[in-house]
């Protein structure tokens, strides 16, 4: 389990972004008592949800 600061460093985003998205239920996270934590599975899901697929329909 990673702290928001550690997870943010790995994802190269601000820790405040992770906290805000987590509070809104927009990204997976885990609460351990009052502490916010991110598992490897949480981080992988965040990465997958942000990935963009190439457009193969000729649109630019």
pTM of the model as a whole: 0.80
**Rounded to the nearest 5 degrees, what angle is found at the Cα of 7, between the Cα atoms of 29 and 44?**
65
Using 50, 70 and 90 to split pLDDT, how confident is the model at 2? very high
Give me the residue spans of the domains in the chain.
4-50
Q: What is the pLDDT of residue 57?
A: 57
Torsion angle in degrees (nearest 10) through CA of 54, 26, 18, 23: 170
Reduced to 3 states (helix: H, G, I; strand: E, B; else coil), residue 38 is strand
User: Which pLDDT does position 12 carry in this prediction?
Assistant: 95
Q: Enumerate helices (H) and strands (E) in the chain, giving the number of each.
A: 3, 2
pLDDT of residue 55: 60
Does the pLDDT value for residue 7 go beyond 60? yes
pLDDT tens, 9-58? 999 999 999 999 999 999 999 999 999 999 999 999 999 998 766 665 55
Rounded to whole angstroms, how far apart are CA atoms 56 and 24? 33
């Amino acid at each position: 389990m990673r702290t928001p600061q550690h997870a943010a460093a790995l994802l190269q985003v601000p820790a405040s972004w992770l906290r805000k998205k987590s509070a809104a239920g927009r990204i997976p996270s885990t609460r351990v008592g009052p502490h916010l934590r991110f598992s490897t599975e949480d981080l992988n899901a965040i990465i997958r949800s942000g990935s963009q697929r190439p457009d193969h329909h000729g649109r630019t």
